[in-house]
Structure 1
């Protein structure tokens, strides 16, 4: 491998693994909220019909 190929590989590995580490740290510091109600959709919201 040439030097530029190795440099590009190292940069891409740092971006991929760095994003993974950043995601893990973010989720560890701010886990999923527990204070939200159950369910995924609001039943009281009326959507106007599409014209």
Structure 2
């Protein structure tokens, strides 16, 4: 009888810290979401900068 080896399931996670400049950790779908979050933060910063 063969035993099945349990597979480790990797959960998706995203950790983002912007203060003291930038730190990000992502796994799973967090790798896809990370550039989207950074793009949104950059867009918001640029809109604030140019709007005065």
User: Considering the TM-score relative to the shorter chain, is it more than 0.5?
Assistant: no
Name the one with the larger helix percent.
1
- Larger Rg over CA atoms: 1
More strand by share: 2
